[in-house]
Amino acid sequence: MGLLTVEGVVAGYSAADEILKGVDLAVERGEIVGVIGPNGAGKSTLLKVIAGVLRPHRGRVLLGDTPIEGRPPREISALGVAFVPQERNVFPTLSVRENLEMGGYLEPARVRARIDAIFARFPLLAERRRHAARTLSGGQRQILAMAMALMVEPALLLLDEPSAGLAPMAAERLFDTIRAINADGVAIVMVEQNALEALAIARRGYILVDGRNSASGDAAALAADPDVRRIFLGG
Ligand SMILES: Nc1ncnc2c1ncn2[C@@H]1O[C@H](COP(=O)(O)OP(=O)(O)O)[C@@H](O)[C@H]1O
Ligand SMILES: [Mg+2]
């Protein structure tokens, strides 16, 4: 059984609005899935539906065999799905440590142990634990946002354009961190503008166009596909 199954999801921002027009997606335990597609295709909307931020009009979202569509974000987080939105994903005036404390719906007794584990995993955050998040570089802020999401020890991490706005070196470091998180056993769905990079680190990929699945399959095969290269990778 797959970790996550999205079937025929129709969703939008008002009752009449169909941004997603019947989207399917499957994620196996422990894999990285890349979701690419033009601006406005509905990639962020799809992640919002999975995370419970947006209730779909129709269709199913299954975690294992448990339906989660329409459940509140808090419940979905407790079931092991963590979401890092593209924007406003850290609290700028709070310290790194305080951000981690906000990073999940955890019993207070577990928070300290979890933060210690995160600091051991991300020494860069440990060094800056007392610094306000706004003083971090863009790449460091994205790592903090992912670390917050990892507070709940999710089985699945949803990342919305983690490399947006980063210089190439910082983006490289971030992709290395994403690979390392995955190597710890966390499955990842990653939406990326940087299509080539996304397909390079993903095992499988999905291309969304205008709220529909356009192509999907083995990431390396998608990256080598002439149509995909022409449309998304500049030739
Ligand atoms: N909060 C919102 N309210 C109304 N429409 C929205 C909202 N967020 C996104 N949209 C619209 O939904 C469509 C898909 O957006 P989005 O899922 O953000 O696309 P992508 O992430 O692929 O660029 C766009 O036309 C966008 O204008
Ligand atoms: Mg988006």
Instruction: Give the ligand 1 atom nearest the CA of 86.
Output: 21
Ligand 1 site, residue 70, Cβ cutoff 6 A: no
List C-alpha distances in Å: 124 to 3, 16, 86, 159, 172: 31, 46, 21, 20, 16
Q: Give the whole-number percent of the chain exceeding pLDDT 90.
A: 86
- Average confidence score pLDDT of the chain: 93
Distance CA 138, CA 135 (A): 9
Centroid of ligand 2 to alpha carbon of 161 (angstroms)? 7
When pLDDT is cut at 50, 70 and 90, the band that residue 233 belongs to is: low
Centroid of ligand 1 to alpha carbon of 112 (angstroms)? 37
Ligand 1 site, residue 3, Cβ cutoff 6 A: no
Ligand 1 site, residue 44, Cβ cutoff 6 A: yes
Structural domain that includes position 59: 4-232
Instruction: Tell me what pLDDT residue 108 has.
Output: 79
Number of domains composing the chain? 1
Find the range with the poorest average confidence among 92-101, 106-115, 160-169, 176-185: 106-115
Ligand 1 site, residue 41, Cβ cutoff 6 A: yes
Ligand 1 site, residue 66, Cβ cutoff 6 A: no
Mean pLDDT, residues 99-109 taken together = 82
Q: What is the pLDDT of residues 144-162, one digit of tens each?
A: 999 999 999 999 999 999 9
Q: What is the pLDDT of residues 20-61, one digit of tens each?
A: 999 999 999 999 999 999 999 999 999 999 999 999 999 999
Instruction: Tell me what pLDDT residue 235 has.
Output: 52
Q: Given a cut of 80, is residue 234 above it in pLDDT?
A: no
Distance CA 82, CA 88 (A): 15
Q: What is the pTM of this model?
A: 0.95
Kindly report the CATH number assigned to the domain that includes residue 228.
3.40.50.300
